[in-house]
């Protein structure tokens, strides 16, 4: 079982903020999932995989310039579980499974 932590500073000018939401920019959950997938591919050394999201839970909104830590752990099934934290705050968690080609 492998474990790895990755850090991502949310750019203030991320394109997702343009419409999500005016006056109070929040990182969409799909952006967090995309980042978790990129880190999973980096951890496995296999870019460009197709993924299935087993589950995903979003606990706390994330704004511009927040520093996030993505903690990934491989599972015996071949999937990857992940958690996302901002400082001491839980942001999201879930599981990813590489899909058959």
The ranges assigned to domains in the chain are 3-98
pLDDT digits (tens, 9 = 90+) for 57-71: 999 999 999 999 999
| Beta carbons of 69 and 7 less than 8 angstroms apart | yes
Torsion from C-alpha of 8, 68, 9, 70, nearest 10 degrees = 0
Options 3.40.50.1100, 3.40.50.300, 3.10.129.10, 3.90.480.20; CATH for 3-98 is 3.10.129.10
pLDDT for 78 equals 87
Find the mean pLDDT for residues 77-89: 95
User: How many CB atoms are closer than 10 A to CB 13?
Assistant: 8
User: How many CB atoms are closer than 10 A to CB 69?
Assistant: 14
Q: Using a pLDDT cut of 90, give the percent of the chain over it.
A: 88
């Amino acid at each position: 079982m492998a474990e790895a932590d990755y850090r991502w500073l949310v750019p203030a000018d991320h394109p997702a903020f343009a419409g999500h939401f005016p006056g109070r920019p929040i990182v969409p959950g799909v952006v967090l999932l995309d980042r978790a997938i990129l880190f999973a591919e980096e951890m496995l050394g296999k870019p460009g995989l197709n993924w299935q999201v087993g589950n995903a839970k979003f606990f706390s909104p994330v704004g511009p310039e927040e520093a996030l830590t993505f903690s990934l752990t491989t599972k015996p099934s071949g999937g990857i579980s992940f958690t996302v934290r901002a400082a001491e705050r839980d942001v999201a968690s879930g599981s990813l499974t590489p899909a058959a080609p």
